Structure 1
Amino acid sequence: MRLLALTVLSTLFLLAQVLMVQARPESLAPLAERISPSVVNITTSTMVEGQTGPQGIVPEGSPFEDFFREFQDRNGEGDRPRRSSALGSGFVISEDGFIVTNNHVIAEADEILIEFFPGEGQPKKKLPAKVIGTDPNTDIALLKVETDRPLSFVTFGDSDTARVGDWVIAMGNPLGQGFSVSAGIVSARNRALSGTYDDYIQTDAAINRGNSGGPLFNMEGNVIGVNTAILSPNGGSIGIGFSMASNVVTKVVDQLREFGETRRGWLGVRIQDVTEDVAEAMGLEKATGALITDVPDGPAKDAGLQSGDVIVSFDGVEVKDTRGLVRQVGNTEVGKSVRVVVYREGGTQTVLVTLGRREDAERGTPAAQPGEEDAPSVAEKEVLGLTLSVLTEDIRDELSLSADAQGLVVMAVDESSEAFEKGLRAGDLITEAGQQKVVTLADLDDRIAEAKEAGRKSLLLLVRRNGEPRFVALSLDG
């Protein structure tokens, strides 16, 4: 029996190895030959002011520095404007000459030249390109060349179907070595770097300087990503590259092509993630959704959304966290009326919101609405590791708070307390406790008593610092 079991295991192991070999194509050459004509090299040039020193010729502090500076001055080169060039990659998405690349490849360039893959039917020379539109938020740019012949082009694939472990090909112009191909796998999905709308595919396919803007292909020859960045201590590929997912890129490209700019949906709320302690303080079963911290003038306020609401569903899609909500709202059509489900006061409510346009909102900040409450009397109290005071005119002036600001001011924080650990500091303004406004210290006492009576282990505070709101849950004593 033991011998039989070992035989079966050996057979299964050999079968698995055969299947692994079969899963990888014998050669990527046929695919590379088919898609290469759609990939382009991009050369940009920009006129820059002349440098006053010999930077780039000798190291700073070198004994030859003065010699080269005098040489430049004698020849009138010290302050002379010069043309600076840079290299990048891109790919053709239509036979009439639309080209996708990274925004940072062509940013501030006054001349953009496109070099096509050499071969029959391809343009024999570099063609100038004009910028149709750019989106710095996703680092995508759309270019256009004029040509008298149809160009080879590729189509976008569905990046959501890409799985970790799938084979991919990166193509581009790394370090000026044009039309270079590298292969690897999808290492991870849904990576975020620093942008609001980030959705990167991580790959170990070699990506270097100059690959920016080039395509990441799946094995069907469809573009599932635009190569954008690498993580590297030395500037070269170490197998951690990032490509903006095609399902983000296609929406941006479609808008740039139609409008010359992006038109993203705007809900008009400030939000934060729901942590475990915040969920407990609010009575939520699980720590998911997006907690609204502020509702300035805009679509959400017009529809009746409130600070303290937790958005659990947007347009029929469950909201897991703030990042997912921001991306979904941004991808929704401007002017569309969507159903937003929120958790409020122990239950859920559905609110119909007509989305505005984020780009319009970013051009101006809504004015605050003045309040009419009288200033409360002076008092201080220590509670939850905080020394709190009612808001007086002197404190208002000292903290440069607006005339309509209301709440309790943090005068000091016990450095051994949970409040200090969670980031509360002197000068913070607590405007709500238990999702109700607090103006006096008695208001706070009432909120603490209500939370304890309801069996809560923590109290949810809305804290503002320099006008920016966030919720913090603090444990209750006893």
Structure 2
Amino acid sequence: MLKRKEFILGAAAGLTLAAAATAGGVISWPGAHAEPQAVNRISPVPANGDSFTPPPGAPNSFANIFDQVAPAVVQIDVTVKVDQPQGGVFQIPGLPFQFVPPQGRGGQGEDVEPQTTQGAGSGFFISQDGFIVTNNHVVADATEIKVKMSDGRELPARLIGRDPGTDLAVIKVEGDDFKYVSFEETAEPRVGDWVIAVGNPFGLGGTATAGIVSAKARDIDPTGYNEYIQIDAAINRGNSGGPTFDIHGRVIGVNSAIYSPTGSSVGIGFAIPAEVAKSVTSRLMQGQTIERGYVGVAIQNLPDGAAEALGLPASIKGAYVGEVTADGPAERAGVQVGDVVIQVNGRDIDGSSELRRMVAATDVGQTVRFTVFRDGRRQEIAIRAVKRPSDEELDSSTREGGPSATPGATANSTVEGMKVASLTPAVRQRYGLPTDVEGVVVVETVPGSKAAQLGIPAGAVIQRANNQVVNSPADLERAITAARGAGRPGVLLMVRTPNGATSVVLELPKN
């Protein structure tokens, strides 16, 4: 059985892919099919003293930097097929609303031709012979790709490779005399350093915006493998895939997303770091497929109070194992639901994102070592990593069978401010719960209770309490009674909601 994700984590509201809206990266290797000449490589402006000390007059104007790098930045126009359900209404990727074609086009009962729509993004040359970096989400579903250069030329492009995990892609145009830029790997930008984004916002092309590095190592994408650079240079729809430069004209990131309640810039943008971008795109240029290690666990960060609820030191950091894929590498090695992973390969981890990236970086066939807390004791578990399945394989996989609910379990009991019921066929039908989901369903929460304050919704299924399997209201009551008897301030609940599984600490009132 395969699971959709290796971890479970809520995504930030308001996060928008810059698929039609970001700026991008740089790279310093020759093209795969031609030996580029140094004459077309855009050299960084010499730095004076500190790696990121602005050259004289830098804050006064970015004109020289823009003139230097603009020829390497391109506008990317794509044609994308759009699914059209029966009834003629169809969804354009990236937009939150649907469209109905004019009367006589795509109505019911007609021979409907495939619908297409246009999209736009940004990119930049990374070699003299026509390799271009952009975002995966700009070109992933494209049936046609065209590149418009700063001198007005329009060229057809073909997809070379893409990596959904980092949202990076490489395309290529024919030619051997293109201006190109390079990724900066040696000098790390600091929070507060100037940056310049160049790209194609709203299809305007050739647009430069400036700002600073606002933060580093942002973990905004629970399904990806990036720790983003946050910038406040304005990036909007159409900037996706374009480069972010430092004050010396070196590419430090590939812009990929913005945080915005409106879909337009509010000064919070995110760029894929140059180090990651170069590593991935260099392999894509060579025709390689990006492979990542996989062990088959669903993990999440320990919520506040979880360590104490499990009887662990309050200072413990790590990742909580919420699910283990049946017959997967982790299960075969002995990993269990409820384990708290505190180290990977002997290195302390802060949470689920770090664990996920370390597993992904493990070569297929190599061993990854988990240090876990289980029942209050440390254990070492060695797991042999396999190749991570594709997103399509993970999406299509389902669990079959599963234990049935405990016969004769008490229904509609009230436990710590929650009215809970066993998962009978009628209850499953009422809340749309599949047969493989086990636990007790929350029918409602008592107003003012701790459960109500946590926002546990009706229809949520409590599957574990302090790592004890819950199949009936009585199981839940026993776990809470045991936590009280041990003097613990709360109980850690593993809860399945319509938005995915999560864990919360239910505070226990003091007697």
| TM-score after normalising by structure 1 | 0.74
Find the counterpart in structure 2 of residue 185 from structure 1.
212
Find the counterpart in structure 2 of residue 417 from structure 1.
449
Whether contact under 8 Å (1:231, 1:238) holds in the other structure is yes
| Structure of higher CA gyration radius | 1
Find the counterpart in structure 2 of residue 166 from structure 1.
193
Map 1:78-477 → 2, pairs under 5 A: 87-118=120-151, 125-147=153-175, 149-158=176-185, 161-174=188-201, 178-193=205-220, 196-197=223-224, 199-230=227-258, 239-259=267-287, 261-284=289-312, 285-286=314-315, 288-297=317-326, 298-360=328-390, 361-362=393-394, 364-371=396-403, 375-376=407-408, 378=410, 381-389=413-421, 395=427, 407-439=439-471, 443-465=475-497, 468-477=500-509
Whether contact under 8 Å (2:410, 2:473) holds in the other structure is no
Tell me how far apart the structure 2 counterparts of residues 210 and 380 of structure 1 sit (CA, whole Å): 52
- Paired residues in the alignment total 429
Whether contact under 8 Å (2:421, 2:440) holds in the other structure is yes
Tell me how far apart the structure 1 counterparts of residues 432 and 135 of structure 2 sit (CA, whole Å): 42
Task: Output one character per residue of 1:9-58: Cα deviation in whole Å (capped at 9) or x when no partner.
Answer: xxxxxxxxxx9x97453255665455444333334456899xx9xxxxxx
Deviation at residue 225 of structure 1 after TM alignment: 0.9
Tell me how far apart the structure 2 counterparts of residues 334 and 234 of structure 1 sit (CA, whole Å): 42
Letter of the 2:284 counterpart: L
Task: Output one character per residue of 1:312-331: Cα deviation in whole Å (capped at 9) or x when no partner.
Answer: 22244432233333344344
Task: Output one character per residue of 1:113-140: Cα deviation in whole Å (capped at 9) or x when no partner.
Answer: 334455xxxxx95432101123445442
SS at match of 2:504: strand
User: Higher helix share goes to which structure?
Assistant: 1
Letter of the 2:160 counterpart: I
| TM-score after normalising by structure 2 | 0.70
Whether contact under 8 Å (1:432, 1:461) holds in the other structure is yes
Could you tell me which of 25, 31, 36 is aligned with 2:56? 25
Whether contact under 8 Å (2:401, 2:435) holds in the other structure is no
Tell me how far apart the structure 1 counterparts of residues 371 and 200 of structure 2 sit (CA, whole Å): 47
Tell me how far apart the structure 2 counterparts of residues 83 and 414 of structure 1 sit (CA, whole Å): 50
The percent identity for this pair of structures is 40
Q: Could you tell me which runs of 5 or more consecutive residues in structure 2 were left unpaired when the two chains were aligned.
A: 1-49, 89-101, 106-111
Whether contact under 8 Å (2:404, 2:438) holds in the other structure is no
Deviation at residue 164 of structure 1 after TM alignment: 0.8
Task: Output one character per residue of 1:188-239: Cα deviation in whole Å (capped at 9) or x when no partner.
Answer: 2234555622533222334344433221122454321112344567776554
Could you tell me which of 21, 27, 40 is aligned with 2:74? 40
Find the counterpart in structure 2 of residue 12 from structure 1.
none
Call closer, same or farther: CA 1:234–1:364 in 2, change over 3 Å: closer
SS at match of 1:249: helix
Deviates more, 1:431-440 or 1:462-471: 462-471
Call closer, same or farther: CA 1:241–1:318 in 2, change over 3 Å: same
Letter of the 2:332 counterpart: D
Deviation at residue 300 of structure 1 after TM alignment: 1.9
Tell me how far apart the structure 2 counterparts of residues 249 and 370 of structure 1 sit (CA, whole Å): 42
Call closer, same or farther: CA 1:465–1:186 in 2, change over 3 Å: closer
Tell me how far apart the structure 1 counterparts of residues 138 and 428 of structure 2 sit (CA, whole Å): 47
Larger RCO: 1 or 2 (CA < 8 Å, sep 6+): 2
Call closer, same or farther: CA 1:357–1:25 in 2, change over 3 Å: farther
Call closer, same or farther: CA 1:331–1:125 in 2, change over 3 Å: same
Find the counterpart in structure 1 of residue 95 from structure 2.
none
Deviation at residue 340 of structure 1 after TM alignment: 1.5
